[in-house]
Protein backbone atom coordinates (compact mmCIF):
# COMPACT_ATOMS: atom_id res chain seq x y z
CA UNK A 1 0.00 0.00 0.00
CA UNK A 2 1.27 3.45 -0.88
CA UNK A 3 2.04 6.00 1.79
CA UNK A 4 1.12 8.72 -0.69
CA UNK A 5 -2.39 10.26 -0.82
CA UNK A 6 -3.59 8.52 -3.99
CA UNK A 7 -4.94 5.18 -5.11
CA UNK A 8 -3.14 2.88 -7.52
CA UNK A 9 -6.48 2.57 -9.32
CA UNK A 10 -10.11 3.60 -9.01
CA UNK A 11 -13.22 2.16 -10.55
CA UNK A 12 -16.24 4.00 -11.95
CA UNK A 13 -18.77 1.56 -13.38
CA UNK A 14 -16.94 -0.76 -15.77
CA UNK A 15 -14.07 1.71 -16.24
CA UNK A 16 -10.86 1.73 -14.20
CA UNK A 17 -8.40 4.60 -13.94
CA UNK A 18 -4.84 3.50 -13.17
CA UNK A 19 -2.37 5.96 -11.67
CA UNK A 20 0.96 6.53 -13.39
CA UNK A 21 3.31 3.58 -13.15
CA UNK A 22 7.00 4.30 -12.80
CA UNK A 23 9.70 1.89 -13.99
CA UNK A 24 10.42 0.70 -10.46
CA UNK A 25 11.72 -2.87 -10.23
CA UNK A 26 9.53 -4.36 -7.47
CA UNK A 27 12.33 -6.69 -6.34
CA UNK A 28 14.97 -3.99 -5.84
CA UNK A 29 13.07 -0.69 -5.69
CA UNK A 30 15.43 0.73 -8.32
CA UNK A 31 15.03 1.86 -11.92
CA UNK A 32 16.67 -0.09 -14.75
CA UNK A 33 19.09 1.70 -17.06
CA UNK A 34 17.92 3.05 -20.42
CA UNK A 35 14.56 3.99 -21.87
CA UNK A 36 13.89 0.54 -23.36
CA UNK A 37 14.31 -1.24 -20.03
CA UNK A 38 12.40 1.50 -18.20
CA UNK A 39 9.52 1.32 -20.68
CA UNK A 40 9.32 -2.46 -20.29
CA UNK A 41 9.34 -2.16 -16.49
CA UNK A 42 6.70 0.59 -16.43
CA UNK A 43 4.47 -1.50 -18.73
CA UNK A 44 5.02 -4.57 -16.56
CA UNK A 45 4.05 -2.56 -13.49
CA UNK A 46 0.97 -1.29 -15.33
CA UNK A 47 -0.02 -4.85 -16.20
CA UNK A 48 0.44 -5.90 -12.55
CA UNK A 49 -1.83 -3.05 -11.41
CA UNK A 50 -4.48 -3.99 -14.00
CA UNK A 51 -4.42 -7.63 -12.85
CA UNK A 52 -5.36 -6.45 -9.34
CA UNK A 53 -8.92 -5.90 -10.55
CA UNK A 54 -9.11 -8.91 -12.85
CA UNK A 55 -8.27 -7.30 -16.18
CA UNK A 56 -5.31 -7.66 -18.54
CA UNK A 57 -3.39 -5.65 -21.08
CA UNK A 58 -6.12 -6.37 -23.69
CA UNK A 59 -8.51 -4.32 -21.52
CA UNK A 60 -6.36 -1.17 -21.58
CA UNK A 61 -8.16 1.29 -23.84
CA UNK A 62 -6.13 4.50 -23.29
CA UNK A 63 -2.64 5.28 -22.05
CA UNK A 64 -0.79 8.46 -21.31
CA UNK A 65 2.99 8.28 -21.52
CA UNK A 66 5.15 10.85 -19.78
CA UNK A 67 8.77 11.02 -20.97
CA UNK A 68 11.62 12.98 -19.43
CA UNK A 69 13.08 13.47 -22.93
CA UNK A 70 10.93 13.28 -26.05
CA UNK A 71 14.02 12.12 -27.96
CA UNK A 72 13.29 8.75 -26.28
CA UNK A 73 9.91 8.47 -28.03
CA UNK A 74 11.03 6.17 -30.88
CA UNK A 75 12.68 3.64 -28.54
CA UNK A 76 9.72 3.77 -26.13
CA UNK A 77 7.36 3.27 -29.06
CA UNK A 78 9.18 0.11 -30.21
CA UNK A 79 8.85 -1.50 -26.76
CA UNK A 80 5.24 -0.30 -26.48
CA UNK A 81 4.37 -1.84 -29.88
CA UNK A 82 5.79 -5.20 -28.73
CA UNK A 83 3.83 -5.08 -25.46
CA UNK A 84 0.39 -4.32 -26.92
CA UNK A 85 -1.39 -5.89 -29.87
CA UNK A 86 -3.97 -4.51 -32.28
CA UNK A 87 -6.24 -2.83 -31.72
CA UNK A 88 -3.76 -0.72 -29.79
CA UNK A 89 -4.98 1.49 -26.95
CA UNK A 90 -5.51 5.14 -27.73
CA UNK A 91 -2.45 7.04 -26.51
CA UNK A 92 -1.10 10.46 -25.66
CA UNK A 93 2.59 11.12 -25.05
CA UNK A 94 4.21 14.16 -23.48
CA UNK A 95 7.67 15.32 -22.50
CA UNK A 96 7.67 16.49 -18.90
CA UNK A 97 10.32 17.96 -16.64
CA UNK A 98 8.94 16.81 -13.30
CA UNK A 99 9.39 13.03 -13.25
CA UNK A 100 10.84 11.48 -10.11
CA UNK A 101 14.65 11.59 -10.25
CA UNK A 102 16.02 8.54 -12.05
CA UNK A 103 12.78 7.78 -13.86
CA UNK A 104 12.67 8.53 -17.58
CA UNK A 105 9.07 7.40 -18.08
CA UNK A 106 5.71 7.07 -16.34
CA UNK A 107 2.60 5.49 -17.87
CA UNK A 108 -1.02 5.81 -16.73
CA UNK A 109 -4.05 4.07 -18.19
CA UNK A 110 -7.80 3.84 -18.54
CA UNK A 111 -9.08 0.28 -18.54
CA UNK A 112 -12.49 -1.04 -19.56
CA UNK A 113 -13.67 -4.37 -18.29
CA UNK A 114 -14.32 -6.36 -21.43
CA UNK A 115 -11.39 -4.98 -23.41
CA UNK A 116 -10.83 -3.23 -26.68
CA UNK A 117 -12.89 -3.83 -29.77
Structural domain spans, the chain: 17-112
User: Of 104, 115, 107, 112, which is closest to residue 32 (Cα–Cα)?
Assistant: 104
- pLDDT (mean) for 8-28: 94
What rounded mean pLDDT belongs to the chain? 93
pTM of the predicted protein model:
0.92
pLDDT in tens, 45-73: 999 999 999 999 999 999 999 999 999 99
3-state class (DSSP) for residue 1: coil
Give the list of residues 6+ apart from residue 43 with CB closer than 8 angstroms, or none: 21, 79, 80, 83, 107
What's the first-to-final CA gap in the chain, in angstroms? 33
pLDDT in tens, 97-109: 989 999 999 999 9
**What is residue 114's predicted lDDT score, i.e. its pLDDT?**
72
Kindly indicate whether the domain formed by 17-112 is annotated with CATH number 3.40.50.80.
no
Amino acid sequence: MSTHPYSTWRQQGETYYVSGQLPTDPATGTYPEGIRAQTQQALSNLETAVKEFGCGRQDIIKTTVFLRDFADFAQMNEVYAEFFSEPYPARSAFAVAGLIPGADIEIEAIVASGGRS
